[in-house]
Structure 1
């Protein structure tokens, strides 16, 4: 705000929100001179969560250790997974999960053959679970995140070759 006058055009924000409602877009960002406006909506995806509670915490705790080693090895080799042609980047900020519930098997593991559209993992953002699906068919060669760890937008999640 400048001297009591708002520089925000609420009508423009409403128009952008209407564009989101009318299309399949999840966010729009515009920049006019020094004003930048980003309007985004959260897509609700319901994940199936198994009801029986089988104590599987020791198994879940062991999985991230196995996954963390390839990430550290890749960083030590100077191999940047962001530049790999088969990278699956995170489409949002949130907490990434390899399994739909603590007692379930991971959705995919290294060596899993996937088809385009197969569920790879879940990202929880604002108490909503979002399916992350395979953008292409292939074999999962690397998993680059730890189960239950926060991820950033654009962060590499997996490599599919």
Structure 2
């Protein structure tokens, strides 16, 4: 039985989230492979970390790009020679090509990336611009008040 997610109660009280329904549909219909395994951590209130396990890869095999709010981590797999694959009785360390995508919020910025001991660590930070920070709005009483224009009464 297929379940559908009804977002109409949420969308009734939000403005400007027109694409959220499309994003949920993409996630629900995604048939994403489990390779390579990764963790997403919330390090502090505004700091995040993505750690990807990449045994057998080198820095030269990897690329990290950010475009249109999507962080893409990709790895080039290598073809092993036939004679070297024949010597393995079991091959559990995969080194196949991959592309892992992470949709970033507008306020998330990629700080840096580090590759050490087979783990790729990407550090991210939330940067909220001034116009998105909470601000208090003055409430006018509706009473007519005398306005000052360049130091003189209007």
Q: Which one has the largest radius of gyration?
A: 2
User: One fold, TM greater than 0.5?
Assistant: no
| Higher normalized helix content (fraction of residues) | 1
Q: TM-score, normalised by structure 1?
A: 0.29
TM-score, scaled relative to structure 2: 0.30
